[in-house]
Amino acid sequence: MSGRGTGPAAVVTGIGTFTPLGRGAADTFDALCHGKSGLRRPPEDHLLAGTVDVAGIAPDISAGEVLPPSEGRLVDRFALMALAAADDALADSGIFVGRDVDPHRVAVIVSSGAGGLTTYEAQSLARAERGPTAVSPYLLPGMLPNMAAARIAIKYGIRGWSSAIATACAAGAHAVAEAARLIRYGEADVVVCGGAEAPLNPTSALAFHHARALAQRWEDPEAASRPFDRRRNGFVLAEGAGVLVVERAGLADARGAAGYADLMGWGASTDAFRPTAPRPDGEGAAASMRGAIATAGLTPDDIDYINAHGTSTKLGDVAETKAVHAVFGDRSPAVSSTKSMTGHLLGGSGAVEAAFCALAISRGQLPPTHNLDEVDPACDLDHVRGGARNQRVRAALSNSFAFGGHNVSLLFGEPTTREKRQ
């Protein structure tokens, strides 16, 4: 490795995921490495039944599983999934706010691209059907995009920096980048960070469908998401949440906590091109990757793996490929897109995929891109396909790009804590 950025090391000590592959980061990563898909046809009792052919549907969860009865009224699904992921991440880290760390030195940044759209849609329908009195006063805390972060802070007594970043499909990655900044610049010792999205309602799905963004005409739903494949024709809409506990490595060492990976660098840029399309040359994506490598104090030669944004769209996958070549030249790091098995979790995707990068470093194992049967010649990278690849990962990039031209890249490296996760 060429070096590390200045400032305290930020290490991932806890991971929680809630995705179409189930709840629990370890089991989910195992499923990815075995090529298991979480995509399916919506059942007849689901909101999306008859609207889309395939979706990434996460497990059921009720408010009572993550909140006391007095707090569970009209809580949107995105916040419930975020709470479940945060519960798991904090338990995994072993940190106790108020015992191991001053609550004012703990931050929470959990983002969402859209917040509680399903709750808003249900309340709008209720008003149309039953009149003004049908609208609940709990609608506002149910739909606001900051409510996942707020509820996590309330539940765990977190008193420091708290926010939610609404940058569409880059929102979860932006939250993790902000966690790195807070720790590097001494503004927090621990950050609970990530993203969540619950977009599986008819209005959202129809908007993406009419924009010709969704995969369609696949008899087998598990075959629908196929990043970088010649036959790809759109992404699969999915829901879920990912939360990381990132802390100052010195604190982790002091309490004997093991690290999965260091959060070493971040980069962000804006395409300033079109609201819903990336720059065809991938220049914005390349800039965010270069920024992440620079803030980590590394060079492109240090990067062994990229978890690609790789949504399975015609334009996006080619633009990302061009960006990788712009940064790495003819030497492509190993690349995979786990959206081939989870679908696209929109604002939750960046955090979930950041978790996958940390696990890849910890385990020395790269998950494959599912359904990559015939690589598009315009997507000529070192794809992990046909099964997981076992190799040491010194450093990994996680890419997230979004409507509006938002680009974020996160860089993870081998942990600097005395204890390592196995």
- Per-residue pLDDT at 3: 67
CATH of the domain at 302: 3.40.47.10
- pLDDT, one tens digit per residue, over 28-60 is 999 999 999 999 999 999 999 999 999 999 999
- Per-residue pLDDT at 145: 96
The domain total for the chain is 1
* Chain centre distance of CA 364: 20
309 is catalytic: yes
Domain membership flag for residue 291: yes
Sequential pLDDT tens for the chain (422 residues): 656 777 779 999 999 999 999 999 999 999 999 999 999 999 999 999 999 999 999 999 999 999 999 888 889 999 999 999 999 999 999 999 999 999 999 999 999 999 999 999 999 999 999 999 999 999 999 999 999 999 999 999 999 999 999 999 999 999 999 999 999 999 999 999 999 999 999 999 999 999 999 999 999 999 999 999 999 999 999 999 999 999 999 999 999 999 999 999 999 999 999 998 999 999 999 999 999 999 999 999 999 999 999 999 999 999 999 999 999 998 899 999 999 999 999 999 999 999 999 999 999 999 999 999 999 999 999 999 999 999 999 999 999 999 999 999 999 999 999 989 87
- Per-residue pLDDT at 8: 77
- Set 33, 193, 344, 370: catalytic member: 344
Contact assessment for residue 296 and residue 397, using Cβ atoms and an 8 Å cutoff: no
DSSP assignment of 388-417 equals -EE---SEEEEEEE-TTSEEEEEEEE---S
Domain membership flag for residue 83: yes
* Chain centre distance of CA 7: 25
- Per-residue pLDDT at 150: 97
Domain membership flag for residue 3: no
DSSP assignment of 309-323 equals ---S-HHHHHHHHHH
For the chain, first and last CA: distance in Å?
21
Place of tokens 């600097």: 416
Structure tokens at 80: 């419930």
Mapped onto helix, strand or coil, the DSSP state of residue 17 is strand
- Per-residue pLDDT at 421: 85
- Per-residue pLDDT at 6: 72
Contact assessment for residue 165 and residue 174, using Cβ atoms and an 8 Å cutoff: yes
Domain membership flag for residue 273: yes
CA dihedral 184, 186, 192, 196 (to 10 degrees): -60
Phi-psi category of 77—alpha, beta or left, where left has phi over 0 and alpha has psi -120 to 50? alpha
- pLDDT, one tens digit per residue, over 301-354 is 999 999 999 999 999 999 999 999 999 998 899 999 999 999 999 999 999 999
- Set 33, 174, 193, 309: catalytic member: 309
Domain membership flag for residue 4: no
pTM score, whole prediction: 0.96
Domain membership flag for residue 420: no
169 is catalytic: yes
Domain membership flag for residue 422: no
Q: Which structural domain, as residue segments, surrounds residue 49?
A: 10-415
34 is catalytic: no
Distance between CA atoms of residues 33 and 360, nearest Å = 10
- Set 169, 193, 357, 379: catalytic member: 169
Domain membership flag for residue 2: no
